């Protein structure tokens, strides 16, 4: 059924955004302000008023889900009139469609293959092998990430300029050249090529550019703050003729610079497109007034923003709770206690715990498992199911018990020791015939000279290390935490993660550090291994009522009745690495991330920090995040659970920053954290 009342359901700003059809338009859409509703109503209005046919509208999203949602909403308004929206889709799907029509312009055939991430890795590995590049030092995933970065900047191999200090990039550029030629030879392209090739065609082929820029009478773009250079350039070329480009987004929610997103596309929109009209959607339909006031006060400390003032359509609501705990374990207990209080009022499905880094889920998982609170990890894997954690546990299991064949198989060639699948298969067969464990079979086969010389060296070293570690545990009575540290060092596992240039390794190392902290809570290796077995025996079941745990990055676009935001401490949030690498811009992006976290909450937001953290087996002092002092006190309910006899908030001054120089501020906690890390 056609909905003819689509304009009547809009507020004044939304209606203005729908009706302003001529010229460039930037819609600054605050969190929960109904941007999807505006976009779909705008498309419907263009078609209904016969300003353009459906196939003359280009509507671009970042995800298939968003594209489908947009199409469904337009269909609900227009019915059969919505048929023909053939250019509504993701950046990649639309570029693929365009590229198939003009593939010869970039030396491809129209039936080219689009390779996925696994194909990319396989191709890069083959190139590295042929060029004698050590993948242990330069991981294929890292090479792909750098190539993607260049493609996002619109650069073919011959256009890349390398700075003298970028040693890794200097080594990767020849790989990029070979990789790109291989793709042409295979009549294939990766996802980055879909947009890059499309842009190059539009830049070089004026006739083609004129066809599309003339055809697209209206261009609409969702989540414009997340676009990178090449996406922005593509849009600019297609808007050349009619200039009717409408971009919707929120600069305060630009949190993906690590994926190539450039906030300046949003901030400089009126410089790129002359006579730009800016409309702000400031009416929020999601959160209470208190939540919005706190979020707005925090984000107002950023300088690089268009600016807006969110107003709630809801009641004032409860004050935002700001809780201080003695340590991370108490913080997990405090969060679980709060959930127990509110679970009768709110569904667990509508409760979320948002962390800055994924390793932070561990303490909450431990607590929830202990008291029987069901949970799910969104966009990630449960702590004890993560591959690096399973590797560490496998080492400990084999040291503890020589008949653990599963553990043996997992780590015998991890890190690489020249022990291939064929050798493991032979050991399996020997084990079956002789009714021995895999480890004892390997030892016997070495003695009987049944292993190839090269493999024998690696296998012997591994078995000798296992024997040595058992001696450390049983004879020397080495602490199980110290034992794992030694195992990681002597096995080469730590070096493998530290030396390998891989974007994921930082998270893996953080998870292992968190594991070492977790182990300190157990008296011995046996009790720890028992705990892990019980923790991993509970399957990740997605059905039913469950608390949601995820990173703040993963929470963007979602909403929950109640949101917990733990770990607001210097070094952790804002994250040390982000500020070290990006300086002031990094700090502003961390603050935008905090803003995203708070605005996921509809009714209640609970922020917390700890005065102490257990880190790699040692207690360290923490300092409250600088973001906490930026929160308006009138909208906060401060609670201290660190010491019943002291008012921690009096002791814990929020104005903690000290002047280092004219343009740099660092809190004492930050300085301590840096020293500790080093």
Task: Point out the residues that are catalytic.
Answer: 35-36, 222-223, 253, 600
> Taken in order 433, 434, 440, 445, is the CA torsion positive or negative?
negative
Per DSSP, the three-state class of 640 is strand
Query: What's the token pair of residue 653?
Result: 């001054």
d(CA 331, CA 504): 27
Distance between first and last Cα of the chain: 64
Per DSSP, the three-state class of 529 is helix
Q: Which helix (H) or strand (E) holds 351?
A: strand 351-355
For residue 428, CA distances in Å to 77, 81, 423, 437, 445 come to 64, 65, 9, 9, 11
d(CA 434, CA 455): 21
Q: Is residue 356 a contact partner of residue 571, using CB atoms and an 8 Å limit?
A: no
d(CA 352, CA 564): 6
- Helix ranges (H only) for 549-664 are 552-555, 576-598, 648-651
Long-range CB contacts for residues 482-490, cutoff 8 Å, separation at least 24: 483/396, 483/399, 483/525, 484/392, 484/395, 484/396, 484/515, 484/516, 484/519, 485/516, 487/392, 487/395, 487/396, 487/399, 488/392, 488/512, 490/465
Q: Is residue 35 a contact partner of residue 29, using CB atoms and an 8 Å limit?
A: yes
- Helix ranges (H only) for 244-288 are 264-267, 269-272
d(CA 319, CA 312): 15
Total residue length of the chain:
678
Beta-bridge partners for 281: 29
Give every CB contact of residue 52 below 8 A, 6+ residues apart in sequence: 46, 217, 218
Nearest alpha carbon to residue 337 among 314, 368, 292: 368
């Amino acid at each position: 059924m056609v909905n003819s009342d689509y304009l009547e359901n809009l507020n004044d700003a939304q209606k203005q955004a729908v009706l302003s059809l001529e010229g460039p338009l930037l819609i600054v859409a605050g969190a929960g302000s109904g941007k999807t509703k505006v976009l779909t109503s705008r498309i419907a209005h263009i078609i209904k008023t016969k300003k353009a046919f459906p196939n003359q509208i280009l509507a671009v999203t970042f995800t298939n889900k968003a594209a489908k949602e947009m199409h469904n909403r337009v269909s609900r308004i227009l019915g059969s009139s919505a048929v023909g929206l053939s250019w509504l889709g993701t950046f990649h799907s639309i570029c693929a469609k365009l590229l198939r029509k003009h593939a010869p312009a970039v030396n491809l055939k129209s039936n080219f293959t689009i390779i996925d991430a696994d194909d990319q890795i396989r191709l890069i590995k083959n190139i590295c092998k042929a060029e004698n590049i050590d993948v242990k030092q330069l991981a294929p995933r890292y090479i792909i990430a750098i190539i993607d970065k260049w493609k996002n900047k619109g650069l073919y191999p011959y256009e890349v300029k390398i700075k003298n200090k970028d040693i890794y990039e200097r080594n990767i550029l020849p790989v990029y050249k070979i990789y790109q030629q291989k793709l042409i030879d295979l009549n294939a392209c990766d996802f980055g090529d879909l947009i890059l090739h499309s842009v190059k065609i539009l830049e070089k082929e004026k006739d083609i550019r004129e066809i599309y820029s003339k055809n697209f009478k209206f261009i609409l773009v969702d989540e414009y703050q997340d676009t990178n250079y090449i996406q922005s350039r593509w849009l600019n070329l297609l808007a050349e003729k009619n200039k009717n480009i409408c971009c919707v987004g929120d600069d305060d929610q630009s949190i993906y610079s690590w994926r190539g997103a450039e906030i300046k596309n949003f901030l400089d929109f009126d410089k790129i497109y002359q006579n730009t009209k800016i409309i702000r959607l400031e009416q929020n339909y999601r959160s209470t007034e208190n939540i919005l006031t706190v979020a707005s006060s925090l984000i107002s400390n950023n300088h690089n923003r268009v600016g807006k003032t969110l107003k709630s359509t809801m009641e004032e609501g409860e004050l935002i709770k700001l809780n201080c705990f003695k340590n991370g374990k108490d913080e997990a207990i405090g969060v679980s206690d709060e959930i127990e209080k509110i679970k009768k009022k709110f569904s667990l499905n509508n409760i979320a715990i948002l962390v800055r880094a994924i390793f932070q889920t561990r303490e909450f998982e431990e607590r929830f498992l202990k008291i029987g609170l069901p949970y799910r990890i969104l966009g990630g894997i449960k702590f004890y199911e993560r591959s690096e954690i399973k590797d560490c546990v496998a080492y400990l299991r084999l040291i503890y018990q020589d008949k653990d064949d599963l553990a043996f198989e997992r780590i015998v060639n991890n890190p690489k020791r020249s022990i291939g699948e064929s050798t493991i298969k032979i050991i399996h067969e020997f084990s079956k015939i002789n009714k021995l464990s895999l480890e004892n079979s390997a030892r016997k086969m070495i003695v009987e000279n049944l292993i190839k010389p090269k493999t024998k060296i690696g296998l012997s070293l591994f078995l000798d290390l296992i024997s040595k570690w058992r001696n450390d545990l049983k004879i020397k009575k080495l602490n199980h935490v110290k034992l794992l540290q030694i195992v990681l060092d002597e096995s080469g596992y730590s070096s493998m993660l530290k030396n390998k240039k891989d974007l994921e390794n930082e998270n893996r190392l953080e998870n292992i550090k968190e594991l070492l902290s977790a182990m300190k809570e157990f008296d011995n290796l046996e009790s720890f291994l028992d705990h892990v077995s019980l923790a991993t025996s509970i399957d990740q079941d997605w059905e039913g009522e469950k608390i949601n745990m995820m990173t703040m990055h993963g929470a963007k676009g979602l909403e929950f009745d109640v949101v917990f935001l733990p770990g607001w401490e210097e070094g952790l949030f804002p994250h040390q690495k982000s500020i070290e690498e990006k300086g002031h811009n990094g700090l502003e992006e961390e603050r935008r991330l905090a803003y995203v976290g708070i605005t996921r909450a509809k009714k209640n937001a609970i922020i917390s920090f700890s005065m102490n953290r257990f880190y790699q087996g040692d207690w360290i002092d923490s300092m409250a995040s600088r973001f906490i002092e930026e929160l308006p006190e009138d909208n906060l309910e401060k609670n201290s659970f660190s010491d019943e006899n002291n008012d921690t908030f009096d002791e814990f001054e929020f104005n903690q920053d000290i002047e280092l120089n004219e343009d740099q501020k660092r809190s004492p906690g930050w300085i301590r954290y840096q020293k500790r890390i080093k």
